[in-house]
A and B are shown apart, each in its own frame.
Chain A
């Protein structure tokens, strides 16, 4: 199968049982995407498919023929960290670092969902033209990404600093 990963075309021969997560980790030597439960409960495996966040452990690799995948390894621009990555370091948005790739990719996808006006469980006005990244919106939308070290405050601060309403716009 052929797909694009972090902007580069890749070909791979995979078992039909192989998940997108295992394709990345075991076949494409991209273990930055993490396995925390392999059943869609923890979010550590979150990647972006054509800009949309998914749990790659619940996706069969063969379904992603021709699609464009962005993993944590593809967020930075060469040696320049993505602003969100830099903010995670500045705000101590991680401890062990294992859930971090998923948190990062999820936040990038979340910011895009917000920009597209996709409502969440805590959105007051579902038909609102513009949504703002309130503390509750941010936390609700990131609740699919578990962190056991308890870096939640730092993660939220880093995302707010990068995508918050009063911050300069950052492209996802």
Chain B
């Protein structure tokens, strides 16, 4: 269906397609593009920003959980008497007394956003190792924790599929991969590969990862009759409200989700079982409930990135032009979620090739549902693809950047659509010059400083442009000319509040301090999910539409005595705190004046973002070049990353300060992916073995060098404000750039992440 729409829309002029020609700011300029410091900065450095577990409600009880210790089977017996009699305990909830609830609608399942579509605590069935089997409520957290330790559970285990090496033998092709076909075949790639004068054919693996946002998942919930108030840490306010409403059999308007601050998300702050359990327990107990997962609890109840096993094979002619590009493999998933880790997506859009075979399959396992984690698919898919290109470049004795240049496509190589804007070659050129790529010795292992061998590596970064439909914004201007822009958006550190205020100020011709951006509350107009790197552009599109509606309304109420009398939307620009005729600044009236004459306290307008048809007509992707320099110890095999540079083509950059931090943040998560991060999963028991920040190693200060980030800043004519979204591309390509640098330093190819010491000794 998507393929058909893409082909058909290719021939429809932009003027007829909503979304393809976003409206520029025409009056005031000056805020967008400036490195404005975060508007919420003072709250965060002062400790005054209130997160989900920091809302206090009268009569609130604290929750603690008991987790299953088997991967599959039934609860044979569950003894709760000791816990119920423990001091301070108000409720012990198990499947025996939990309220009847519908199973939550899962992500990609008709508007649902739950991480899994399994029913929550409805019967004695155990679905994964670590599932919550009991919840205790008590007056204090200490009392709840103690009582939870008194619950005794006996199980009847059933055979569970927890070994990936077994599960992969039963892998199957899904119907689709995030609404795209699971397999793309152009020509006969295997045949072309066999005939190619140059080829590489390799297998790569990537392990499970966990998001490990520093804020623990938490919720503070209360019922007011049949209305549920959920103070949550979420990147999907409206979806959570709708899905929770479905679980409890109430209307979406009866669930209010508030989440003004989110202590890191990266895909993990979604709707999992803990919010549902807390709301159920609050209903049973008749009192508000606070639940804050332990760090181990996060590993048991909130899914992470799944593992992948990938094959990349590339055939090239004598000049290095790809004649065959094969990227295939398998990822583990469950029967009750839909997150296939789309690792074949980069190869669908990055390189021209004479033939393609891109196919991924799913191996179902009995485990906690895996989920979306920063650049799902692209993060680990670029590891395999970009390492393989490096391997091919070496066999051909061609510089790896030059090899990529020779395969730069004119159009999207698999859909055939035009790129909306693509400057990957410039990103490579700019990055190579700044990084000093010409100083790289193409022969591995020759550069040495004492015990350290030094190497440089490069890889392509890529992440698609996305704009989901359905979000809206409201703008209200008061009698003083102050604007409040409202949408149920999310601030988990991307700089949402700051960047949206910058845009609204320019859009409305106001100084920055005359704009308030209101977000983090599902009662506001429907917001854009903070996922897929799309919240910023989706919100820009809605605010642009709302500003137009507002200006129309202002012109309507301005009346015949206004200097604006008779002017229509297309005639005016917003500037100097009001509206003016385009090209004639003398015909200007301030908002305060318009409202005063009309006798109004305020004027407001709400509008939806246009349908995102630009995504179907054009191939829209951000790209970039990642450069790494590493030192590898001969003695210990330790890898130290000395320098990193990311050179990105992501359209226009709206706030260079916040953008640089987003890019660096992604790159640092990529550094962890390359060298240290792995969620260890016991194939015998299906239990995560390192559920803590002491045993799952995220990069620390000493691991992180100063990271250089540059960008083309070339606006995408088909994206709102020319911007394509930057939240996830930073992590892509980093694993390969570091692995390629390690190879350049040592001559050892590590194709199985993470690149730990043992693999280099």
Which residues of A are at the interface with B, using a C-beta cutoff of 8 A?
15, 17-18, 22, 25-26, 29-42, 44, 71-73, 75-76, 81, 85-86, 88-90, 92, 94-101, 104, 136, 138-140, 142-156
Contact = CB atoms under 8 A, between A and B. Distances in A.
A35 B56 contact: no
A69 to B, nearest CB: 13
Given A139-B702, A148-B698, A81 B692 contact: no
B502 to A, nearest CB: 15
Contacts of B353: none
B180 interface: no
A158 to B, nearest CB: 10
Contacts of A18: 140, 142
B40 interface: yes
Nearest first, the 9 A-B pairs at minimum CB distance are A32-B47, A95-B493, A98-B263, A150-B665, A97-B44, A96-B493, A150-B668, A72-B47, A31-B54
Given A81-B46, A150-B730, A152-B704, 12 more contacts: A29-B56, A31-B51, A38-B295, A39-B295, A39-B694, A85-B46, A94-B38, A97-B263, A101-B47, A140-B702, A143-B702, A150-B664
Contacts of A72: 45-47
A56 B680 CA distance: 28
Interface in B251-273: 261-266
Contacts of A139: 701-702, 704
Contact of A152 (B48, B49, B701, B730): B701
B757 to A, nearest CB: 18
Contacts of A15: 140, 142-143
A38 B214 contact: no
A156 B701 contact: yes
17 contacts: A32-B48, A36-B215, A38-B295, A39-B693, A75-B46, A81-B42, A95-B493, A95-B665, A97-B44, A146-B700, A147-B214, A148-B211, A148-B213, A150-B666, A150-B668, A150-B669, A153-B664
A98 B706 CA distance: 22
Given A26-B141, A39-B692, A72-B47, A89 B704 contact: no
Contacts, number: 186
A94 B701 CA distance: 13
Contacts of B146: 17
A99 B694 contact: no
B53 interface: yes
Contact of A100 (B44, B212, B265, B730): B44
A92 B658 contact: yes
A156 B702 CA distance: 10
Contact of B263 (A41, A96, A144, A151): A96
B46 A22 contact: no
B434 interface: no
A96 B44 CA distance: 8
Given A41-B693, A155-B701, A32 B264 contact: no
Contacts of B142: 15, 17-18, 22
B657 interface: yes
Interface in B110-150: 140-143, 146
B280 interface: no
A59 to B, nearest CB: 15
A99 B698 CA distance: 14
Given A25-B54, A148-B698, A89 B37 contact: yes
A1 B730 CA distance: 49
Nearest to B704: A152
A143 B701 contact: yes
Interface string B643-673: 0000000000000011011101111110000
Contacts of B53: 31, 35
Interface centre among A31, A40, A72, A142, by most chain B C-beta atoms within 10 angstroms, is A31
A113 to B, nearest CB: 15
A116 B692 CA distance: 33
B264 A98 contact: yes
B266 A92 contact: no
B63 to A, nearest CB: 14
Contacts of A32: 46-48
Interface in B677-707: 692-694, 698-704, 706-707
Given A37-B692, A98-B215, A148-B214, A92 B661 contact: yes
Interface string B221-263: 0000000000000000000000000000000000000000111
B657 A92 contact: yes
B216 interface: yes
B292 interface: yes
Interface in B489-537: 492-495
Contacts of A41: 295, 692-694
A105 B700 CA distance: 17
Contacts of B664: 150-154
A46 to B, nearest CB: 12
Nearest to A35: B216
B47 A149 contact: no
Interface centre among A32, A89, A97, A155, by most chain B C-beta atoms within 10 angstroms, is A97
Given A149-B264, A150-B667, A92 B37 contact: yes
B41 interface: yes
Interface centre among A76, A86, A98, by most chain B C-beta atoms within 10 angstroms, is A98
B210 to A, nearest CB: 10
B44 A36 contact: no
B661 A154 contact: yes
Contact of A44 (B44, B214, B702): B214
A85 B38 CA distance: 13
B660 A142 contact: no
Contact of B214 (A73, A81, A99): A99
A76 B42 CA distance: 11
B669 A96 contact: no
B28 interface: no
A152 B668 contact: yes
B730 to A, nearest CB: 8
A147 to B, nearest CB: 7
B693 A146 contact: yes
B29 to A, nearest CB: 23
B294 interface: yes
A97 B493 contact: yes
Nearest to A98: B263
Contacts of B294: 38
Contacts of A99: 214
B704 A153 contact: yes
B568 interface: no
Contacts of B266: 148
B110 to A, nearest CB: 30
Interface centre among B216, B692, B694, by most chain A C-beta atoms within 10 angstroms, is B216
Nearest to B62: A26
A98 B693 CA distance: 15
B600 interface: no
Interface in B180-230: 211-216
Contacts of A146: 214, 693, 698, 700
A76 B40 CA distance: 16
B50 interface: yes
A42 B692 CA distance: 10
Interface in B3-29: none
A25 to B, nearest CB: 7
Contacts of A81: 42, 45-46
A96 B665 CA distance: 11
Interface centre among A22, A35, A81, A156, by most chain B C-beta atoms within 10 angstroms, is A35
A92 B261 contact: no
B494 A95 contact: yes
A148 B47 contact: no
Contacts of B140: 15, 18, 26
Given A37-B692, A96-B213, A139-B704, A88 B45 contact: yes
Contacts of B662: 95
Contacts of A150: 661, 664-669, 699, 704, 730
Nearest to A89: B41
Contacts of A40: 694
A37 B295 contact: yes
